[in-house]
Amino acid sequence: MKKNANAPSEEINLAYTVPKLKDFSPAALDKAVEKLLAALDKEPVALTGEDQRKAFRDRWLARKDGILMQVNELWLKAAPKEAKREVGQRVNKLKAEVEAKVEAALAMAPATKGESAIDISLPGIRRPIGAEHPIIRTQNEIIAVFRNLGYSVAEGPVIETDYYNFEALNFPPNHPARDTQDTLFIAGQESKPRREQLLLRTHTSPVQIRTMEKMKPPLRILVPGKVHRNDPPDASHSPMFHQVEGLAVDTKITFGDLKGTLDHAMKALFGSDVKTSFRPSFFPFTEPSAEMFVSCFVCGGSGKRGDGNAPCRPCKQTGWIEILGCGMVDPNVFEFVKHNGYDPEKISGFAFGMGVDRIAMLKYGLDDLQLFFQGDVRFLQQFV
């Protein structure tokens, strides 16, 4: 019997089925993705009618039981905790590729007799419109966590004076950070008094002083923004990077308030099972000061990955990742804004600061900071 040109969907080659994965290593994941895309490339050849085109689209993109939905269930949801990052990155990229290939195949499928070559009932081909840069996305996630805790966002100039960047933050005159070896000063400032000389801010802390000059306590602010250091670019350094700093000032604020706030924030950012640890440190503008560590969210704090033999690079096999610096605001800092209600005998506060770029590197499993700034579209497309 002669087959109908508008044959039903069963004529489509259904050889490919989404496999359950036993091996979630990067090589095995790449191989599984390659097989899926190869199967997809073969299928459109058999599309000869409207029914088959519809069946083809539903087979790959249907929300209930399409192949993409099966990939999400059988690969991503079934992946062990330590592999979810690798699987998630590939599934997101695979989703975009499959959608684009399916839409392109439908647009180019040959029309049958009496049928328009362009099916106007099908959705149009999506044009990429871009997405948030991974650093900005990470920064916004941090901001959202602290907004929910009652913090407001404050901003200030990137070109600062020595007074706001160093002096008012209790940096001594001979501190190494005030040298041109570490800080980028604006040219032609030699004739000005030291405190009036202009520079590219080395942290967002000057905004804390500027805000306290304008607002009386109590105060809770978050300060995101770009900062600059005189560092040559390499895998872990950049002359321009991003910080988010926080400041809370009120009566009877203690180090316990600082620990509780940051512990809650880290759990919101990295998962409720993350643990925090505080270790003594030194910063000119806080006393006492501490470095905050979080238990490694890549290896679960074990220091090992995969089968237990591979070392965990993000935490250097220690099970802990240094995430930020913090401490109680030094009373000497309050002396610079004492006239606006910040009497160190009556109020106290805490401050903290974290590098957004480093957190983004940890979050997305990267080992080279320069990837964020090179503008390679192939790299950035992973985050669409």
| Cα distance between residue 99 and residue 244, in whole Å | 37
pLDDT, residue 116, reads 55
Q: Is 88 helix (H, G, I), strand (E, B) or coil?
A: helix
Q: How far apart are CA 351 and CA 378, in angstroms?
A: 38
What's the mean pLDDT in 67-94? 89
Phi, psi of 341 (to 5 degrees): 100, 5
Reported as a single tens digit per residue, the pLDDT across 127-165 is 777 788 999 999 999 999 999 999 999 999 999 999 999
CA torsion, ordered 372, 375, 379, 380, to nearest 10 deg: 80
Question: Tokens 């400032």 identify what position?
Answer: 189
Percent of the chain with pLDDT over 70: 92
Integer Cα distance of 326 and 127 in angstroms: 44
Residues 323-381 pLDDT 10s: 999 999 999 999 999 999 999 999 999 999 999 999 998 888 888 889 999 888 888 88
Average predicted confidence (pLDDT) for the chain: 87
Q: Cis ω on the peptide bond leading into residue 8 (within 30° of 0)?
A: no
Max Cα-Cα span within the chain = 97
DSSP notation for 263-288: HHHHHHHH-TT--EEEEEEEETTEEE
Residue 225's nearest CA partner among 293, 285, 165, 172 is 165
Q: Cα separation of 61 and 307, whole Å?
A: 34
Q: Using CB atoms within 10 A of its CB, is residue 353 exposed (0-12), middle (13-18) or buried (19+)?
A: buried
Mean pLDDT of 254-281: 94
Distance CA 360, CA 382 (A): 14
DSSP string, 134-163: HHHHHHHHHHHHHHTTT-EE----SEEEHH
Given this model, what pLDDT does residue 3 score? Answer: 45
Enumerate the domain spans of the chain.
9-108, 134-383
- Asked if 143 contacts 154 with a C-beta cutoff of 8 angstroms, the reply is no
User: d(Cα 38, Cα 16) in Å, to the nearest integer?
Assistant: 10
Highest CATH level, class, for 134-383: alpha beta
More confident residue, 307 or 175: 175
**Residue 203 · residue 168 · CB < 8 Å:** no
Query: How confident is the model over 112-128, as pLDDT tens digits?
Result: 555 555 677 878 787 77
Gap between the terminal Cα atoms of the chain: 49
The C-alpha atoms of residue 257 and residue 196 are separated, in whole angstroms, by 36
Q: What percent of the chain has pLDDT above 90?
A: 48
User: Rounded to whole angstroms, how far apart are CA atoms 194 and 228?
Assistant: 19
Mean pLDDT, residues 54-59:
86
Rounded CA separation 100/116 (Å): 22
11-19: Cβ within 8 A, 24+ apart: 11/46, 11/52, 12/43, 12/46, 12/47, 12/52, 12/55, 12/56, 12/59, 13/42, 13/43, 13/46, 14/59, 15/39, 16/40, 16/43, 16/67, 18/67, 18/70, 18/71, 18/74, 18/75, 19/74
